Amino acid sequence: MKLIVLERNSVGTDIDVSCFEQFGEVTYYANTTAEQVAERVKDADIIISNKAPLNETTLADAPHVKLICLLATGYDCVDLAYCTSKGIKVTNVVNYCTPAVAQHTILLALMLSEKIAFYDDYVKSGAYSAQDRFSNFDRAFHDLDGKTWGIIGMGTIGRKVAALASAFGCDVIFYSASGKSTYTKYPRVELDTLLRTSDILSLHCPLTDRTRNLIDKNALNKMKPTAILINVARGPVVNTQDLYQALMAEKIMAAGLDVLEKEPLEPSNPLSQFKDSTKLIITPHMSWASIESRTRLIAEIVKNIQAFLDGTDRNVLTI
């Protein structure tokens, strides 16, 4: 067996991936651009990848590929129809980072809600030491208790966030990104209702034709001017230019992003102009990447490969 790991560094060099070598000869690439994929996979039996495009263009000259293992839950980088037509199995890994992403969602909401960046800077600047009173709360903030927390995408991560938000006393509502959810623990509402009533709106949906640009100018204009938007799903779910304009015009109060339309952040991205972390926090697509999450991810890839070799369909994606 020849295994090709296209983006070894995407799981961090602090995580041991030598466990792949039990299955055969492994070639590791730190990272792989779209232009490099076809050449690197041409002799592969198994491809282990994250974001590299795997489609007819990149796989046409790779006749031996039998299995693609994604180092991720999302699979928008893979042409499933083409892979199915060629008998290539595709697997992903689900639920490995649920605690980490949910934790990060709450963190962003709390930091923006309580304007932590302002108060941290206030103390470190010396302004707190120079004042003559014991406390400072010049920037108003509010309880989470009693606020409405809206969720788009009530999957595993969405449900974990809902439970944590409920523990803070929030009233949780959700919109089904697929339109098929039968989950009944929290009220399911239409998108307009979610946008108009949410004090905090967090996104936990996959990127599909239904969700691309779901949060655009029209959606942002329906939100409360005091609302906080959190995106830990996929960057293109939110229209970058429209979000920038909404923040500039104070159509919403703040946004916390762990994902962007194009990653890494490009200097031309208008959101890069924001230096006020009480209005916008951007983290570098790291909410999923706790040590525990990345360790689970590699362990699950090993299980997916073993299941394939044993002839069972574990986490196999189908169209």
Non-local CB neighbours of 54 within 8 Å, separated by 6+ positions: 37, 41, 47, 68, 77, 78, 79, 83
Catalytic residue among 188, 196, 212, 285: 285
First to last CA, the chain: 26
Q: What percentage of residues in the chain have a pLDDT greater than 70?
A: 100
Q: Count other Cβ atoms within 10 Å, centred on residue 289.
A: 20
Contact 232, 287 (CB under 8 A): yes
Q: Quick one: pLDDT at residue 8?
A: 98
**pLDDT surpassing 90 at residue 318:** no
Q: How confident is the model at residue 313 (pLDDT cuts 50, 70, 90)?
A: confident
Q: How confident is the model at residue 314 (pLDDT cuts 50, 70, 90)?
A: confident
**pLDDT surpassing 90 at residue 247:** yes
Catalytic residue among 234, 261, 296, 300: 234
Place of tokens 């697997």: 91
Query: What does the block give as tokens for 28?
Result: 């590791």
- Closest residue by Cα to residue 162 from 204, 215, 112, 197: 204
For residues 224 and 220, give the distance between their C-alpha atoms in angstroms, rounded to a whole number. 8
For residues 76 and 99, give the distance between their C-alpha atoms in angstroms, rounded to a whole number. 23
- 142 an active-site residue? no
Q: Quick one: pLDDT at residue 114?
A: 97
For residues 182 and 244, give the distance between their C-alpha atoms in angstroms, rounded to a whole number. 34
For residue range 143-197, what is the model confidence (pLDDT) as tens digits? 999 999 999 999 999 999 999 999 999 999 999 999 999 999 999 999 999 999 9
86-104 mean pLDDT: 97
Average pLDDT, the chain: 97
For residue range 257-272, what is the model confidence (pLDDT) as tens digits? 999 999 999 999 999 9
For residue range 37-63, what is the model confidence (pLDDT) as tens digits? 999 999 999 999 999 999 999 999 999
Contact 118, 318 (CB under 8 A): no
Count CA within 13 A, CB hemisphere, residue 292: 9
Q: Quick one: pLDDT at residue 262?
A: 94
Contact 52, 6 (CB under 8 A): yes
Contact 177, 205 (CB under 8 A): yes
**pLDDT surpassing 90 at residue 242:** yes
Catalytic residue among 39, 56, 190, 263: 263
- The 3 state secondary structure assigned to 100-169 is HHHHHHHHHHHHHHCCHHHHHHHHHCCHHHHCCCCCCCCCCCCCCCCCEEEEECCCHHHHHHHHHHHHCC
Helices 156-167 and 98-113: crossing angle in degrees, nearest 10, is 40
Cα–Cα distances (Å) from 183 to 78, 148, 163, 174, 191, in that order, read 28, 18, 14, 10, 16
**pLDDT surpassing 90 at residue 104:** yes
- 64 an active-site residue? no
Q: Quick one: pLDDT at residue 169?
A: 98
**pLDDT surpassing 80 at residue 319:** no
11-34 mean pLDDT: 98
For residue range 248-303, what is the model confidence (pLDDT) as tens digits? 999 999 999 999 999 999 999 999 999 999 999 999 999 999 999 999 999 999 99
